[in-house]
Structure 1
Amino acid sequence: MWFGLAVIALVGAAVLLYIDRIQHQRGGRVRQMWAKAQNFTYTVEDPNLPATWRRAALAKQDYLSAVDIVSGIRRGEQFFLFDLEDTATIVAVRREIGSDVDIDLRLKTTPPPRDADMELLGGIGPRIVFATNLEIARRVCDQRMVAFTEGLPAKLQMLWSEGNWTLGSLPITAMGRDWDDAIDSVARLSGMLHVLPPPREPRAGRSDRGGNHDPGRPRPPQTDLRERPARVAPPRVAPPTGERRPVEGFPPPGERGRAPSRPQDFDGPPTQAAERIRPDLD
């Protein structure tokens, strides 16, 4: 009897695995057809894609592979849609400018995020908001955000941002219309998050003197005084060649320092200039 029960259980498990495989293949074909109809790219599997993100539904899930991946450009935004094996369907939309501030919007029935740097901001519509910077997140969660959260599809369980990406998660049973709605919703949130401050550039070495540097202005060139090149003296210009005519009462340049000799044909009294020079030379 026990042997018969074991055989029945084994056969039942094999039947369930076969049905699950058939359903998965059918779901893959449906997604492939959906991607082809919208001129998107379809990829069967990528084991490294989930490791691109680390928050919310993808926290500590990088050991799972991404399957049935659809990628492309929708309304000017690059996106990925894939299944995290049999766990969830993920939508990721890329922003041109990222931010160091990450925001998490999730249903009130969903457990809080596992990240230690995510702090609770409060409720907004049917969602709860967590953020890495509460002061900035308060400015983002305005009336537009309230209206946005109230119009979200019910199957879009989580919404969050990290770096250059805005993401959302769906149940694995979601189908074509749900995928369209999810991509549009995540893209709308991505556009609203453009108001987040851009990431701060890491500083190399010591900080600037005289306070913080304005990131909107170029930094002055840093010059090491020890490597400053020595000043080169301008070359001396040789005087023009030729005979110089001496000034009357002064010796020629080559004979300065010598006692001036009186001309032999000088019969009269010495000139006033000679009288001034003579005592200095004696």
Structure 2
Amino acid sequence: MTIVYFVIAVLALAGAGALLWLDRQRSSVARHQRAIWGDQHEFKFRESDTKLRKVFHRATMNVPERVAVQDVAFGHYSGAEAVVFDLAETATVVAVRRSTPSSVVVDLRHEDVLAPAEEDVELLGAMGPRVMFSNNLDVARRVCDRRMVALANTAPSYIEVLWNEGNWVLGSMPLTTDTDRLDAGLEVVRRFADLLRVLPPIVDPQDAPDPRDPHGPTRAELADEKTESMRDKQRRARIAAAANDVDDQGSADADPVAPEPTRAWSAVPEATPPAPPSTAGRRMQPMPVRRPSQAPGGGRPPSDRDEGSPTPPPGAARPARPYDLPPSTPSTDRPNRHRKN
């Protein structure tokens, strides 16, 4: 019995080795065929890649992390970057890069394929043998023109899912090394990318505009003359205010200076000497003083000033008046000319 068990174990080990060898040979042939196909399009070949799993996450790429990316062929197709790779034991994926990214996702898949697992997309409707999903139905409706309908009806059924993600447009099909299917997949994905050019691009967030000029740009190098002049005026005002604060602080620290007395409270006003007569030109003669007319009774009208009172000369200092008394005079000693005694 022991010999029988030993023979069975040897046969099982040999069978396992043969299966491993066949699998490796099949994988080598597949890699070799992908490299040959890539050479026809001037693509480069790489056996595996770890970065693509970090770039693509939707639709067919929504698989566990343990699923590796292998048999990668990359290059340029019709002026755009293109990548063809396999998800191990899952699908073959074709990706074409777009010129501008968009936050709107359009998912066009065959009606026999399950709905997308992402929760941010909604069903838009059927389009021939395919169904469209999107996270912005209003924008997706504008994409559904006659060219999109033609693509949905003429695309091969083995291209199961078409979708866009970031800067890329992708298509997936069952694992294949057939060159005709790979060529057809590249062309369909390129056409789908052209139709998605109408999607709104992602706009970089900007700061709030200047409240003094809401229509002006926020960046300094793009600011127009109006906004820049307003900023210069505010800058100059801040500099002037800072200078005034410094001057006020310096004057407050200095010794206070006694204010000069006002002219209204001076005891004796300063006598202003008369200006010397000018000899140039014609001399001005004094105006004659008109005497008041006689009263009806033949007498002169009453006058407050006595005729015998002397008239002070023009250059003499006038006597101090009551409101010219100095501040030291008590208020009781100041006569009030508006108050009756």
Could you say whether these structures have the same fold, taking a TM-score greater than 0.5 normalized by the shorter chain as the test? Answer: yes
Question: 2 CA distance for matches of 1:90 and 1:198?
Answer: 24
Change (3 A) 1:27 1:260: farther
- Structure with bigger gyration radius: 2
Deviation at residue 225 of structure 1 after TM alignment? 6.8
Identify which of 225, 230, 235 aligns with 2:236. 230
User: Where do residues 85-96 of structure 1 align in structure 2 (5 Å cutoff)?
Assistant: 85-96=88-99
Cα offsets for 1:207-252 (capped at 9, x unmatched): 7869xx99xx95574889799322589xxxxxxxxxxxxxxxxxxx
Structure 1 length as normaliser, TM-score?
Answer: 0.74
Deviation at residue 78 of structure 1 after TM alignment? 1.0
Aligned residue type for 2:76:
I
**Identity within the alignment, %:** 35
| Structure 1 position 41 matched with structure 2 position 44 | yes
Contact 1:100 1:200 in 2 (8 A): no
- Report what 2:203 is aligned to: 200
Deviation at residue 31 of structure 1 after TM alignment? 1.2
Question: 2 CA distance for matches of 1:264 and 1:142?
Answer: 101
Question: 2 CA distance for matches of 1:28 and 1:101?
Answer: 35
3-state SS in 2 of match to 1:72: strand
Question: 1 CA distance for matches of 2:192 and 2:16?
Answer: 43
| Residues matched between the structures, number | 246
- Report what 1:239 is aligned to: none
Identify which of 99, 103, 118 aligns with 2:102. 99
Cα offsets for 1:122-165 (capped at 9, x unmatched): 11111111101111111211222111111112221111111221
Structure 2 length as normaliser, TM-score?
Answer: 0.62
Contact 1:118 1:131 in 2 (8 A): yes
Q: Which has the higher contact order (CA 8 A, sep 6+)?
A: 1
Deviation at residue 118 of structure 1 after TM alignment? 1.0
Aligned residue type for 2:166:
G
Query: Structure 1 or 2: larger strand share?
Result: 1
> Which 5+ residue runs of structure 1 have no aligned equivalent?
234-257, 273-277
Question: 1 CA distance for matches of 2:82 and 2:74?
Answer: 6
Question: 2 CA distance for matches of 1:35 and 1:57?
Answer: 22
Aligned residue type for 2:92:
T
Deviation at residue 169 of structure 1 after TM alignment? 0.7
- Report what 2:76 is aligned to: 73
| Structure 1 position 145 matched with structure 2 position 159 | no
| Structure 1 position 182 matched with structure 2 position 167 | no
> Which 5+ residue runs of structure 2 have no aligned equivalent?
241-271, 287-313, 319-341
User: Where do residues 106-185 of structure 1 align in structure 2 (5 Å cutoff)?
Assistant: 106-185=109-188
Alignment RMSD, CA only?
3.6
Deviation at residue 19 of structure 1 after TM alignment? 1.2
Question: 1 CA distance for matches of 2:209 and 2:119?
Answer: 29
- Report what 2:20 is aligned to: 17
